[in-house]
Amino acid sequence: KTIPILSRYWNDWLFPPDVPRSCQLLRIENLVLPASYFVVGLLQGFSGPLLNVYPLEMNASEAQQATISALRGFPASFKILFGFLSDTMPLFGYRRKIYMLFGWCLSAFSMGMLLQNSDCGFAKDGETQPSIEVFSLSVLLFGSGFWFADVMADAVVAEKAKLEPKSSFGRLQSTCYACRFFGLMIAYPFSSFIYSTLGPRMVIYMLCMLPLVMLPLTFLFWEIQNQAVNSTHEQCQEIWKTVRSRAVWQPMGFVYLYNVLQVTNAAWRQYLTSVLGFTADQLNILLVITYILLFVGVMAYKCYFMKWSWRMVYVFTTLLGGFFSLLQISLLKGYTFGLSPFLFSLGDDAFGEFVSGIQFLPTIIMMAHLCPVGSEGASYAMFTTVNNSALALSSALTTLLLGIWDVSKETMVAGDLSGMIKLTLLTTLFQVSGILFVRLLPRSTHETESLKSDNFSQSTLGGSIFLSITFSSILYSIFVMYKNVVHPGWVKGS
């Protein structure tokens, strides 16, 4: 009797009976969804150590280092275009499946191209390295591929989420994001170990193989073929109607402004290696702890801050982040309170990501709540495009700030850190100033609903400004990243 009971319990856990079959993620026809989020996390984690330290081996300037790190995430700014393409131009009758296959193949191809171009090793061992331009292009195509596949998974999850019963509403998305963060956490330390023992070539080889694992699961994914699709004109009308709503452009305006102001000190990594003598292993350990604390921050919000108003969460975390940022000045001046520079840097670097983790879930919850019924996929893609384009612009501004004071490698090694201190103070001021716009953010989902009934709930001007700034930011970020990679001397750097 015990065995049948355990079998039934196990079966109910795998395939909850109160959830429709289409929402049971562990069904073979749905397994591609959690696997897709998990593999995206793995790819981000495995590529982290490579992008963190390999550009230093190639003698990349500070501007090039910051740009290469941003190139992997930059294609996420075009999520809305990826979504429009799949919504309006099905391939072989499928809106998601074929595009998902293309995305995984593109990621694998980009890393394979990098392996064919050079030894992808260390110059000190007599091995050839790719040029900055080739490496940057490979990273860009790599990110484009897995973000393309990720948009397809997002769209399917958004469609299936509408079928969830109220008792388990939100479980689908939270489970998928949990898979992503779990993949990110386990991949990064493993990749760090491989990088330090077997070299960058083996890491790139794994980045080439991992996307190919998704191909069988994508083939098994069940999708209705030859569905009726909206035209591009109809999709644009729906998006335009959405962005004109004050319930959308006001809170998303806050998200945009806040993220643009989160500029960082692009010369910080150069300081850690050139002045403090941090090794590649130490830099990777810092990032391992960073990813762990990012996940801890997400769980902290879920367990302790869920009942806080969104405004209070942002005010509290912004001030806390400003405190950790100022600790960098203490390290620059040599005041580490008896701790080694490495241990002290854990506080100002890693705990900043803990703060970002706390801010992650309320942003996602708000975006999901803003999606109009019937166009959740396209709307969610648009909101994430706004969020990612702001982060891309922030990264571009980060490199431009290098030209204000002399923070080159030669100056820092010579013992002049005055420029670093001033730049750190300036970036901290920018980061904290984000709370000046917090009144644009609703306190809760209930207040978001009240904005929809406001007398000025529909604004052509608000929607126009919203879209203009978003797409202008994308174009400007493209320009800055291109200049940083091809003409690094246009910004003061090593």
Tens-place pLDDT, residues 339-355: 777 777 766 666 777 88
Closest CA to 388 of 67, 77, 70, 68: 77
Q: At 106, is the pLDDT very low, low, confident or very high (cuts 50, 70, 90)?
A: very high
- pTM of this prediction? 0.75
- Report pLDDT for 477: 67
Q: What three-state secondary structure class fits 170?
A: coil
Residue 36 has pLDDT above 90, yes or no: yes
Lowest mean pLDDT segment, chosen from 8-17, 168-177, 291-300, 385-394: 8-17
pLDDT at 128 > cutoff 50: yes
Task: State the pLDDT at residue 143.
Answer: 92
pLDDT at 101 over 80: yes
Q: How far is Cα 260 from Cα 326, in angstroms, rounded to an integer?
A: 19
The per-residue pLDDT for 394 is: 83
Under 8 Å between Cβ of 363 and 255: yes
Query: Is residue 49 exposed (0-12), middle (13-18) or buried (19+ Cβ within 10 Å)?
Result: buried
Q: Which tokens hold the place of 223? A: 């999708």
On the question of pLDDT at 328 being above 60, the answer is yes
pLDDT category, 332, cuts 50, 70, 90? confident
Based on its alpha-carbon atoms, the radius of gyration of the chain, rounded to whole angstroms, reads 23
What is the distance between the alpha carbons of residues 383 and 204, in angstroms, rounded to a whole number?
Answer: 32
CA distances from 135 to 110, 130, 179, 486 (A): 10, 6, 29, 12
For residue 13, pLDDT beyond 70: no
Mean of pLDDT values over 143-172: 80
**Secondary structure element (H or E) that encloses residue 213, with its range:** helix 200-220
* pLDDT recorded at residue 170: 58
The mean pLDDT of the chain is 80
- 149 vs 163: CA distance, rounded Å: 22
Tokens of 191: 């990749």
pLDDT at 10: 59
Tokens of 297: 């921050």
Q: Phi/psi at 91 (nearest 5 deg)?
A: -110, 125
**What is the model's pLDDT at position 453?**
64
10 Å Cβ neighbour count for 241? 14
372 DSSP 8-state letter: P
The amino acid present at 120, given as its one-letter code, is: C
Count CA atoms closer than 13 A to 482's CA, side-chain side. Answer: 6
Report the percent of the chain where pLDDT is more than 70. Answer: 86
pLDDT > 60? residue 78: yes
CA dist., res. 69 & res. 76, Å (int): 13
Q: What is the pLDDT of residue 167?
A: 63
Q: What pLDDT is recorded for position 356?
A: 79
State pLDDT tens for residues 403-459. Answer: 888 888 888 888 888 888 888 889 889 989 988 998 888 877 677 767 666 655 677
Among the ranges 52-56, 317-321, 335-339, which has the highest mean pLDDT value? 317-321
Q: Using a pLDDT cut of 90, give the percent of the chain over it.
A: 13
Residues facing 245 on adjacent strands:
458
Continuous segment of H or E residues that includes residue 188: helix 171-198
pLDDT computed for residue 494 by the predictor? 43
Q: Which residues contact 352 (CB under 8 A, 6 or more apart)?
A: 321, 324, 325
DSSP structure string for 141-162? HHHHHHHHHHHHHHHHHHHHHT
Question: Which is more confident, 313 or 470?
Answer: 313
Find all residues with CB under 8 Å of 487, minimum gap 6, and list them.
none
